[in-house]
Each structure stands twice: as structure tokens, then as C-alpha cells.
Amino acid sequence: MGTKTVSLADDAYERLKAHKREGESFSDVVRRLTDTVDLEEYYGVLSEETAEELEEAVRERRERFDEGTRSIST
């Protein structure tokens, strides 16, 4: 397998580094974070109410994550 050199801004590097788990390479982190799920497989599984609660929980988690990564880069 070949390798590529990628340049990152300092803040982007810190964000990536914050996601790195013990024993993981940066390649492992990128693979894990960019692995996608086909949400269409789950269409109709949740009730409307549960789906709305889940959306709110995800929104709140993303906000906390964004706040945390901002504090790392400052």
C-alpha cells in the first residue's frame, strides 16, 4: 500500500489528533471517521417521535463536540 503526504492547518491537525485512540494511526482515524452508513436501510424503523428525539440528541452532541474541538485549537 502506498502513502501520501497531506498538509493540514494546525487546527485541523489538532481536531484529527483529538479523535485518535490509543494504538491508532492517523490513517486508522481517517478511515474510522469517514466510514459511512447507508441510512436508507433504516427508513421507517423509528417512530416519528423517536426519530425527532434522536435528531435532537445528535444535534446536541454535535454542538458539544464543536465546542470541545474549538477549545483544543485555542
pLDDT digits (tens, 9 = 90+) for 31-61: 998 888 777 788 888 888 998 999 999 999 9
Q: Please tell me the pTM assigned to this model.
A: 0.50
Residue 70: predicted pLDDT: 66
Residue 71: predicted pLDDT: 64
Give the burial string for 5-40 (b: 16+ CB within 10 Å, else e): eeeeeeeeeebbeeeeeeeeeeeebeeeeeeeeeee
Residue 16 · residue 30 · CB < 8 Å: yes
Q: Which of 33, 18, 20, 30 is nearest to 72 (CA)?
A: 18
Residue 13 confidence (pLDDT) above 60: yes
